[in-house]
Chains A and B, each alone.
Chain A
Amino acid sequence: AQSVTQLDSQVPVFEEAPVELRCNYSSSVSVYLFWYVQYPNQGLQLLLKYLSGSTLVESINGFEAEFNKSQTSFHLRKPSVHISDTAEYFCAVSLYTGFQKLVFGTGTRLLVSP
Protein backbone atom coordinates (compact mmCIF):
# COMPACT_ATOMS: atom_id res chain seq x y z
CA ALA A 1 0.00 0.00 0.00
CA GLN A 2 1.08 3.52 -0.68
CA SER A 3 1.37 6.21 1.95
CA VAL A 4 2.76 9.70 2.22
CA THR A 5 4.17 11.23 5.39
CA GLN A 6 4.59 14.93 5.97
CA LEU A 7 6.07 15.18 9.43
CA ASP A 8 5.77 18.94 9.82
CA SER A 9 2.23 20.22 10.21
CA GLN A 10 3.40 23.83 10.31
CA VAL A 11 6.64 25.58 9.34
CA PRO A 12 7.10 29.23 10.36
CA VAL A 13 9.86 31.16 8.61
CA PHE A 14 10.89 34.74 8.05
CA GLU A 15 10.75 36.35 4.64
CA GLU A 16 13.85 35.72 2.48
CA ALA A 17 14.89 32.74 4.61
CA PRO A 18 15.35 29.29 3.05
CA VAL A 19 12.78 26.59 3.71
CA GLU A 20 12.45 22.83 3.35
CA LEU A 21 9.16 20.97 3.58
CA ARG A 22 9.68 17.27 4.13
CA CYS A 23 7.88 14.44 2.40
CA ASN A 24 8.51 10.71 2.68
CA TYR A 25 6.61 8.02 0.87
CA SER A 26 6.24 4.28 0.94
CA SER A 27 5.41 2.22 -2.08
CA SER A 28 6.27 -1.19 -3.41
CA VAL A 29 6.06 -0.10 -7.02
CA SER A 30 7.33 2.71 -9.17
CA VAL A 31 6.10 6.04 -7.92
CA TYR A 32 5.20 9.33 -9.38
CA LEU A 33 5.42 12.23 -6.96
CA PHE A 34 3.72 15.60 -6.79
CA TRP A 35 3.60 18.74 -4.71
CA TYR A 36 0.34 20.68 -4.63
CA VAL A 37 -0.17 24.11 -3.06
CA GLN A 38 -3.38 25.46 -1.58
CA TYR A 39 -3.56 29.22 -1.04
CA PRO A 40 -6.18 30.53 1.41
CA ASN A 41 -9.72 30.03 0.14
CA GLN A 42 -8.53 28.48 -3.10
CA GLY A 43 -8.38 25.00 -4.57
CA LEU A 44 -5.27 22.87 -4.86
CA GLN A 45 -2.82 23.76 -7.63
CA LEU A 46 -0.04 21.58 -8.99
CA LEU A 47 3.34 23.04 -7.99
CA LEU A 48 5.69 20.46 -9.50
CA LYS A 49 5.93 16.77 -10.28
CA TYR A 50 8.43 13.96 -10.70
CA LEU A 51 7.63 11.29 -13.25
CA SER A 52 11.04 10.11 -14.48
CA GLY A 53 14.39 11.41 -15.63
CA SER A 54 16.21 14.10 -13.65
CA THR A 55 15.64 13.69 -9.94
CA LEU A 56 15.59 17.46 -9.42
CA VAL A 57 12.43 19.19 -10.56
CA GLU A 58 11.66 22.88 -10.44
CA SER A 59 8.59 25.07 -10.43
CA ILE A 60 8.17 28.43 -12.09
CA ASN A 61 8.11 30.33 -8.77
CA GLY A 62 11.45 29.17 -7.40
CA PHE A 63 10.53 25.96 -5.59
CA GLU A 64 12.39 22.74 -6.29
CA ALA A 65 12.10 19.16 -5.10
CA GLU A 66 14.49 16.27 -5.30
CA PHE A 67 13.46 12.65 -5.68
CA ASN A 68 15.65 10.45 -3.50
CA LYS A 69 14.85 6.80 -4.06
CA SER A 70 17.20 5.45 -1.40
CA GLN A 71 15.67 7.66 1.27
CA THR A 72 12.17 7.46 -0.21
CA SER A 73 11.88 11.22 0.03
CA PHE A 74 10.67 14.10 -2.11
CA HIS A 75 11.44 17.20 -0.05
CA LEU A 76 10.39 20.63 -1.27
CA ARG A 77 12.83 23.52 -1.00
CA LYS A 78 13.06 27.21 -1.73
CA PRO A 79 16.23 29.26 -1.10
CA SER A 80 14.37 32.49 -0.29
CA VAL A 81 10.66 32.63 0.55
CA HIS A 82 8.21 35.49 0.08
CA ILE A 83 5.16 36.50 2.08
CA SER A 84 3.06 35.31 -0.86
CA ASP A 85 4.34 31.75 -0.38
CA THR A 86 2.19 31.43 2.74
CA ALA A 87 -0.05 28.46 1.98
CA GLU A 88 -0.70 24.79 2.66
CA TYR A 89 1.56 22.40 0.77
CA PHE A 90 0.57 18.81 0.05
CA CYS A 91 2.82 16.02 -1.11
CA ALA A 92 1.14 13.29 -3.13
CA VAL A 93 2.10 9.96 -4.66
CA SER A 94 0.43 8.43 -7.67
CA LEU A 95 -0.04 4.83 -8.54
CA TYR A 96 -1.10 3.94 -12.03
CA THR A 97 -3.01 0.67 -12.35
CA GLY A 98 -4.99 1.41 -15.43
CA PHE A 99 -6.03 4.70 -13.95
CA GLN A 100 -4.27 7.30 -11.86
CA LYS A 101 -4.92 7.38 -8.12
CA LEU A 102 -3.45 10.22 -6.05
CA VAL A 103 -2.71 9.66 -2.36
CA PHE A 104 -2.08 12.85 -0.39
CA GLY A 105 -0.09 13.56 2.74
CA THR A 106 -1.60 15.51 5.64
CA GLY A 107 -0.13 18.80 4.47
CA THR A 108 2.34 21.35 5.81
CA ARG A 109 1.28 24.91 6.50
CA LEU A 110 4.04 27.35 5.53
CA LEU A 111 3.78 30.62 7.42
CA VAL A 112 6.04 33.39 6.12
CA SER A 113 6.32 36.49 8.28
CA PRO A 114 8.11 39.79 7.63
Chain B
Amino acid sequence: EAGVAQSPRYKIIEKRQSVAFWCNPISGHATLYWYQQILGQGPKLLIQFQNNGVVDDSQLPKDRFSAERLKGVDSTLKIQPAKLEDSAVYLCASSLESSVNTEAFFGQGTRLTVV
Protein backbone atom coordinates (compact mmCIF):
# COMPACT_ATOMS: atom_id res chain seq x y z
CA GLU B 1 0.00 0.00 0.00
CA ALA B 2 1.44 3.36 -1.02
CA GLY B 3 1.84 5.90 1.76
CA VAL B 4 0.96 9.58 1.91
CA ALA B 5 2.86 11.43 -0.80
CA GLN B 6 3.93 15.05 -0.46
CA SER B 7 5.78 17.38 -2.78
CA PRO B 8 8.05 19.16 -2.89
CA ARG B 9 10.31 17.85 -0.11
CA TYR B 10 12.09 21.16 0.26
CA LYS B 11 11.29 24.73 -0.73
CA ILE B 12 13.14 27.99 -0.19
CA ILE B 13 11.37 31.25 -0.97
CA GLU B 14 11.73 34.91 -0.14
CA LYS B 15 9.28 36.61 2.18
CA ARG B 16 6.17 37.97 0.48
CA GLN B 17 6.39 35.27 -2.21
CA SER B 18 3.75 32.59 -2.68
CA VAL B 19 4.18 28.85 -2.30
CA ALA B 20 2.00 25.76 -2.67
CA PHE B 21 2.33 22.27 -1.27
CA TRP B 22 0.67 19.16 -2.62
CA CYS B 23 -0.53 16.04 -0.82
CA ASN B 24 -1.84 12.74 -2.16
CA PRO B 25 -3.38 10.73 0.67
CA ILE B 26 -3.66 6.98 0.90
CA SER B 27 -6.31 5.70 -1.47
CA GLY B 28 -9.71 5.45 0.17
CA HIS B 29 -8.87 7.64 3.15
CA ALA B 30 -11.71 10.04 3.84
CA THR B 31 -9.91 12.27 6.34
CA LEU B 32 -6.97 14.49 5.43
CA TYR B 33 -4.96 16.72 7.77
CA TRP B 34 -2.39 19.48 7.28
CA TYR B 35 -0.04 20.13 10.19
CA GLN B 36 2.62 22.79 10.69
CA GLN B 37 5.72 21.71 12.62
CA ILE B 38 7.98 24.58 13.63
CA LEU B 39 11.49 23.62 14.76
CA GLY B 40 11.43 22.59 18.41
CA GLN B 41 7.64 22.32 18.57
CA GLY B 42 5.11 19.59 18.05
CA PRO B 43 2.90 19.43 14.98
CA LYS B 44 0.03 21.90 15.04
CA LEU B 45 -3.15 21.16 13.12
CA LEU B 46 -3.87 23.77 10.46
CA ILE B 47 -6.85 22.25 8.70
CA GLN B 48 -8.75 18.96 8.59
CA PHE B 49 -10.93 17.70 5.75
CA GLN B 50 -13.57 15.00 5.81
CA ASN B 51 -13.87 14.00 2.13
CA ASN B 52 -13.85 17.41 0.44
CA GLY B 53 -15.42 19.36 3.30
CA VAL B 54 -13.57 21.28 6.01
CA VAL B 55 -14.28 20.07 9.56
CA ASP B 56 -11.70 22.16 11.42
CA ASP B 57 -9.69 25.18 10.27
CA SER B 58 -9.67 27.05 13.55
CA GLN B 59 -5.86 27.42 13.60
CA LEU B 60 -5.40 28.25 9.94
CA PRO B 61 -4.20 31.87 9.42
CA LYS B 62 -6.83 32.55 6.82
CA ASP B 63 -5.43 35.93 5.80
CA ARG B 64 -2.50 34.16 4.14
CA PHE B 65 -3.11 30.41 4.18
CA SER B 66 -5.63 28.53 2.09
CA ALA B 67 -6.26 24.87 1.40
CA GLU B 68 -8.50 22.81 -0.77
CA ARG B 69 -9.15 19.15 -1.34
CA LEU B 70 -10.02 18.42 -4.91
CA LYS B 71 -12.80 15.87 -5.33
CA GLY B 72 -12.08 14.53 -1.86
CA VAL B 73 -8.69 13.11 -2.86
CA ASP B 74 -5.58 15.29 -3.41
CA SER B 75 -5.06 18.46 -1.44
CA THR B 76 -3.05 21.64 -1.82
CA LEU B 77 -1.99 24.08 0.88
CA LYS B 78 -1.05 27.59 -0.22
CA ILE B 79 0.68 30.46 1.54
CA GLN B 80 0.36 33.93 0.03
CA PRO B 81 2.28 36.02 0.96
CA ALA B 82 4.82 34.11 3.05
CA LYS B 83 6.38 35.48 6.21
CA LEU B 84 9.63 34.53 7.93
CA GLU B 85 7.69 32.83 10.73
CA ASP B 86 6.11 30.43 8.22
CA SER B 87 9.42 28.55 8.05
CA ALA B 88 8.49 25.05 9.18
CA VAL B 89 7.83 21.50 8.05
CA TYR B 90 4.34 21.08 6.64
CA LEU B 91 2.98 17.59 7.25
CA CYS B 92 0.07 15.98 5.51
CA ALA B 93 -1.68 13.00 7.06
CA SER B 94 -4.67 10.87 6.18
CA SER B 95 -6.89 8.35 7.92
CA LEU B 96 -9.59 5.98 6.82
CA GLU B 97 -12.15 7.89 8.82
CA SER B 98 -12.23 10.32 11.67
CA SER B 99 -13.08 8.07 14.58
CA VAL B 100 -10.87 8.07 17.64
CA ASN B 101 -9.33 4.64 17.07
CA THR B 102 -8.34 5.23 13.47
CA GLU B 103 -4.63 5.64 12.85
CA ALA B 104 -3.43 8.73 11.01
CA PHE B 105 -0.66 8.07 8.46
CA PHE B 106 1.82 10.88 7.83
CA GLY B 107 3.79 11.89 4.78
CA GLN B 108 7.46 12.86 4.95
CA GLY B 109 6.60 16.54 4.96
CA THR B 110 7.69 19.61 3.04
CA ARG B 111 10.39 21.71 4.66
CA LEU B 112 9.76 25.39 3.91
CA THR B 113 12.42 28.02 4.49
CA VAL B 114 11.41 31.66 4.11
CA VAL B 115 14.34 34.06 3.78
For residue B44, which residues in chain A have a CB less than 8 angstroms away from its CB? 104
Q: B115 an interface residue at 8 Å Cβ cutoff?
A: no
* Pairwise interchain contact B109-A9, C-beta atoms closer than 8 A: no
Report the bound CA distance from A94 to B55 in whole Å: 15
* Pairwise interchain contact A105-B101, C-beta atoms closer than 8 A: no
Tell me the count of chain A residues lying within 8 A, CB to CB, of chain B. 27
Given A94-B100, A106-B41, the answer on whether A43 and B48 have CB atoms closer than 8 Å is no
Report the bound CA distance from A107 to B50 in whole Å: 27
Would you give the shortest CB distance from B10 to chain A, in whole angstroms? 11
Interface size range of chain B in the complex: 20 to 34
* Pairwise interchain contact B42-A106, C-beta atoms closer than 8 A: yes
From the candidates B41, B50, B101, name the one contacting A32 in the complex (CB within 8 A). Answer: B101
Determine the residue in chain B with the shortest Cβ distance to A44: B106
Report the bound CA distance from A107 to B38 in whole Å: 11
Given A46-B104, A106-B40, the answer on whether A101 and B91 have CB atoms closer than 8 Å is no
- Residues of chain A having any CB pair with chain B under 8 Å: 4, 6, 9, 32, 36, 41-46, 49, 51, 90, 92, 94, 96, 98-107
